[in-house]
């Protein structure tokens, strides 16, 4: 399993996940720098992502939508706030309307992704922060659900704890 | 982990692993609904919806009370909205992405470096 550490900071509504990948930092960076690779990993099963705009530079935007099983579209955007290729980038991730105008009524998360070389592999640290519990709840209600498979995997994790 | 904890975890994850049940939870968290009003929202029998409600109730996510002939269901806000469980749900999304990255990297033909 590539995930090596998970931390939930309840007071700051922050999720930190550390994973290790068997590839160089530059290769992992490519996944985020290449929209065709990014869309392969972003959407959960049954909700494939399509990236329609991709500018991974400070102030740049990434526009994407996920398509649900009934064809419903969930548009989202990233607003890139910092880039230090290939070591880290920061962005706000939020929901948008069909024209990719950010929806101010929907929650935004602040994200920092960091990639560091570790014994020839890449240690990736993902930090995601929400402003309010309501915001976090809304995000989970918006259809980004991994569904049964991950729920079942989670049982295994719990039992192993 | 005790047997009871395991059973509770089973019930909780089983309850939330179904899309209709998650949708029912969204509605009953927003306010109390009669089971018949809920049943009217779905293209399935009253009995099937009642069964979904019962699964959520057993998992402790939803409480029911009787009012005359009506059964009224409401979401247990503390059970569902606990920040811990939300972060856990978010964690699953992330774990999914990480697993997909791992898969994508594993499908690379061979280690190679491209120089510009």
**B42-88 pLDDT, tens digit each:** 999 999 999 999 999 988 888 999 999 899 999 876 665 555 677 77
With respect to residue B75, please indicate whether it lies within any of the assigned structural domains.
Answer: yes
With respect to residue B14, please indicate whether it lies within any of the assigned structural domains.
Answer: yes
Average pLDDT over chain A reads 82
- Tell me which residues of chain A, numbers 13 to 52, contact chain B at a CB-CB cutoff of 8 Å: 13, 15, 17, 19, 21-24, 26-28, 31, 37, 40-42, 44-45
- pTM over 0.80? The answer is no
ipTM for the whole complex: 0.76
**Is the model more confident about B18 or about B8?**
B18
Q: Which domain holds residue A101?
A: 3-160
Contact (Cβ atoms closer than 8 angstroms) between residue A76 and residue A92: no
Q: How far apart are CA B22 and CA B14, in angstroms?
A: 11
Residue A44 neighbours by CB distance under 10 Å:
20
Q: How far apart are CA A154 and CA A132, in angstroms?
A: 24
Q: What 3-state DSSP class applies to B31? A: coil
Structure tokens at B60: 């402790």
Q: How far apart are CA B36 and CA B47, in angstroms?
A: 10
The CATH number assigned to the domain holding A22 equals 3.30.530.20
- The answer to whether A139 contacts B90, with C-beta atoms less than 8 Å apart, is yes
Mean pLDDT of the region B23-50:
90
Closest CB to B97 among A42, A140, A152:
A42
With respect to residue B112, please indicate whether it lies within any of the assigned structural domains.
Answer: no
Q: How far apart are CA A118 and CA A98, in angstroms?
A: 41
With respect to residue B12, please indicate whether it lies within any of the assigned structural domains.
Answer: yes
Mean pLDDT of the region B88-111:
86
Average pLDDT over chain B reads 81
Residue whose C-alpha is closest to residue A73's, from A108, A99, A110: A99
Number of structural domains found in chain B: 1
The end-to-end CA distance of chain A, in Å, is 15
Q: Which domain holds residue B24?
A: 3-106
- The β-bridge relationship of strands A14-21 and A3-9 is antiparallel
With respect to residue B113, please indicate whether it lies within any of the assigned structural domains.
Answer: no
Structure tokens at B54: 């019962």
Q: Is the pLDDT of residue A159 over 60?
A: no
With respect to residue B73, please indicate whether it lies within any of the assigned structural domains.
Answer: yes
pLDDT in tens, A35-94: 999 998 988 877 889 999 999 999 999 999 988 777 888 889 999 999 999 999 999 998
Burial class (CB in 10 A: 0-12, 13-18, 19+), A34: middle
- The answer to whether B17 contacts A128, with C-beta atoms less than 8 Å apart, is no
How many percent of chain B have pLDDT more than 70?
77
The CATH number assigned to the domain holding B79 equals 1.10.10.10
Number of structural domains found in chain A: 1
Identify all chain B residues contacting A155, using CB atoms and an 8 Å cutoff: 9-10, 13
């Amino acid at each position: 399993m590539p995930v090596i550490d998970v931390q939930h900071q309840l007071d700051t509504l922050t999720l930190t996940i550390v994973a290790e990948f068997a590839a160089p930092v530059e290769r992992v960076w490519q996944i985020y720098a290449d929209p065709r690779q990014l869309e392969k990993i972003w959407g959960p099963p049954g909700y494939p992502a399509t990236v329609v705009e991709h500018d991974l530079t400070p102030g740049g935007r990434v526009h994407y939508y996920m398509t649900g099983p009934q064809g419903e579209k969930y548009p989202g955007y990233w607003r890139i706030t910092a880039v230090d290729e290939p070591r880290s980038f920061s962005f706000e991730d939020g929901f948008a309307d069909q024209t990719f105008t950010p929806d101010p009524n929907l929650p935004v998360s602040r994200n920092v992704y960091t990639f560091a070389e570790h014994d020839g592999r890449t240690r990736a640290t993902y930090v995601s922060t929400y402003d309010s519990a309501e915001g976090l709840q809304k995000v989970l209600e918006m259809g980004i659900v991994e569904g049964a498979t991950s729920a079942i995997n989670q049982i295994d994790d719990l039992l192993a704890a | 982990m005790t047997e009871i904890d395991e059973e509770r975890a089973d019930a909780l994850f089983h309850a939330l692993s179904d899309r209709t049940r998650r949708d029912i939870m969204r509605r009953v968290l927003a306010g109390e609904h009669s089971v018949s009003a809920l049943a009217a929202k779905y293209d399935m029998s009253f009995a099937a919806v009642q069964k979904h409600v019962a699964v959520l109730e057993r998992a402790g996510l939803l409480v029911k009370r009787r009012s005359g002939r009506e059964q009224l269901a409401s979401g247990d806000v503390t059970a569902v909205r606990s920040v811990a469980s939300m972060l856990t749900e978010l964690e699953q999304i992330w774990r999914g992405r990480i697993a997909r990255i791992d898969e994508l990297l594993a499908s690379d033909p061979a280690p190679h470096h491209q120089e510009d």
